[in-house]
Structure 1
Amino acid sequence: MPLIRNRYGKGRVRVMRLHRDGDRHEVSQLNVKAMVEGDFAPAYTHGDNSTSVSTDTIKNVVNVIARENTGLCTEEFCQVLATKYLDTYPQIASVALTVHETKWSRLSFDGKPHPHSFVLDSNGKPTVELSSVRGGVTTMSSGIDGFAFLKSTQSGWENYVKDAYTTIPPTADRLCATSMVASWKWSGKPLSYPATNRKVLDTVLEVFSMTYSKSVQDSLYRMGEAALATVPEISEISMACPNMHFIPMNLSAFGLDNNNDVFLPTDEPHGQIECTVGRG
């Protein structure tokens, strides 16, 4: 029987890079998944490992490139790492990297950033996905996973299909919150990947916060439109937004009303709203 496709690699390669620029330090904590494809079929079909690169070696290359490139942002680090695999092992035809970053935010005291002290920023993990084919194109996207945001008004859900199965009441004023997974594809190199990534997030948050939302769908599309208009170096943006629901509590048993003041937070089950917005 034919071997249709194969690939292998190393997952959960965790590495912390410390870059020293005088007294000022930068930290970058990454979780890397590196997968390779190429001339490895004999290991599957004939028990022949002669072309196989050990997954432990794949992990070691991550650490070596980390040591040699402490100051690169995650996107640039991924580009160097993929090139290293292709340059070192001719039997590798393509490399796929998926990297999640643990964010550490610099502490400030009396308005002055501290040179080497940080606090864990738990709102979302920045991500990078890169695919590089020998003799072909390299594609890369950046994004964020689990980025939570909320507004307490200026959101509604009305004029939807109502039938015998519908129980949710319409509203023109509700809490709207999500834990977003988003990614954007690069079509050009920005002056700074970190600064441009921040610009994408700042743009979508401004649209979400400053405009009335007829639905999560409505907000997502306009957020995507604004990101593309603001950042010419990206060709499309994909967003997946599971609702974080806040259900008004019934306080009538206590002789109290509830004028959208007290809620039960829940995210199971949740609405899952997704879209991709691209250039025409």
Structure 2
Amino acid sequence: MALIRNSYGKGRVRVMRVARDSACHEVRELNVQVMLSGAFDAAYTEGDNSSVIATDSVKNIVNFLARDHVGAENEVFVGIIASHFLDRYPHVAGVDILASETKWSRIGVDGAPHDHAFTLDGNGRPFVKLAATRESRTLASGITGFTFLKTTESGWENYWFDEATTLKPTADRLFATAMDASWVWSGVPASYEKANAAILDAGLKVFATTYSPGVQNTMYLMGEAALAAVPEIAEISLACPNKHYLPIDLSPFGRAFDGQVFTPTDEPHGQIECTIGRG
């Protein structure tokens, strides 16, 4: 039987690049697939792997090139990846790369774009919830999956340590979450749409401009700001899963971690919830 064609590589190489060479950080989050073709027939037909570049090595190459070219535009970056394989491995005849970007937009604070705080493009799904009887009605508004991050001014320290603790403290980490929030109306605002926007704006301003010692404290301060901004709500409930961006260990490749390259992960995640009222 003839082997007609073949290719192999690594998919879903998720990498967040953070350019921190100025106070104004740039973020580019990519999901990369790299597929190689060339003199690999023997691996299929003979079980001879001597020419095969391990898919784990393909992932490592994407990661350390991300560190070396942290500020490169996506089109430039995929060209760099392709050139690396073609220049280094003579038996690689072709490289096919698909890189899809998760887009982030800067949070606006007092009319100006923030240096290191961002929201996800096309963000969140607003909802309305009503419980009605003939005697009463309870109306709530909210949003699900409202995603935002900041690249600095966040830490996690001085927590409980025992034999189960492996997480290392840090005073500077990337903080990201996909928030579910709802607020209960006690009055009727002049405009629900504008009031809902004011609630989110107030919370995001706190998130962007206040150092976060932990998700718990940041959530509480965001809730306080929302209540202060819109007097027609009685309480606000927030649920903020940690969207972890894990530092990539590039020390095997002679590169130190300096807060520039991360692996985005979805599970497991921390889940933090609270409700703040006027009490």
Aligned pairs, number: 159
The question of 1:132 aligning with 2:100 is answered no
Tell me, in whole angstroms, the C-alpha distance in 2 between the residues paired with 1:162 and 1:260. 25
Structure 1, unpaired ranges of 5+: 1-120
Q: What pairs up with 1:143-182 in 2 under 5 angstroms?
A: 143-182=142-181
SS at match of 2:216: helix
Q: Give CA-to-partner distance per residue, 1:208-253, whole Å, 9 cap, x none.
A: 0000001000100011111111110000000000110011011011
Residue type of the alignment partner of 1:222: L
Other-structure match for 2:140? 141
The question of 1:207 aligning with 2:206 is answered yes
Structure 2, unpaired ranges of 5+: 1-120
SS at match of 1:222: helix
Tell me, in whole angstroms, the C-alpha distance in 1 between the residues paired with 2:173 and 2:251. 20
Other-structure match for 2:230? 231
Other-structure match for 2:24? none
Tell me, in whole angstroms, the C-alpha distance in 2 between the residues paired with 1:203 and 1:260. 28
How far is 1:187 from its partner?
Answer: 0.1
Residue type of the alignment partner of 2:211: Y
Tell me, in whole angstroms, the C-alpha distance in 1 between the residues paired with 2:144 and 2:249. 34
Other-structure match for 1:68? none
Tell me, in whole angstroms, the C-alpha distance in 2 between the residues paired with 1:234 and 1:171. 36
Other-structure match for 2:189? 190
SS at match of 1:207: helix
Q: Give CA-to-partner distance per residue, 1:155-184, whole Å, 9 cap, x none.
A: 000000011110100000000000000000
Residue type of the alignment partner of 1:171: T
Q: CA RMSD in A?
A: 0.8
Residue type of the alignment partner of 1:213: S
SS at match of 1:164: coil
Identity of aligned residues (%): 61
Tell me, in whole angstroms, the C-alpha distance in 1 between the residues paired with 2:151 and 2:127. 28
Other-structure match for 2:258? 259
Calculate the TM-score normalised by the size of structure 2: 0.56
Q: What pairs up with 1:53-68 in 2 under 5 angstroms?
A: none
Tell me, in whole angstroms, the C-alpha distance in 1 between the residues paired with 2:216 and 2:243. 14
Tell me, in whole angstroms, the C-alpha distance in 2 between the residues paired with 1:178 and 1:137. 35
How far is 1:122 from its partner?
Answer: 2.8
User: Whose relative contact order is higher, 1 or 2, with alpha carbons under 8 Å and at least 6 apart?
Assistant: 2
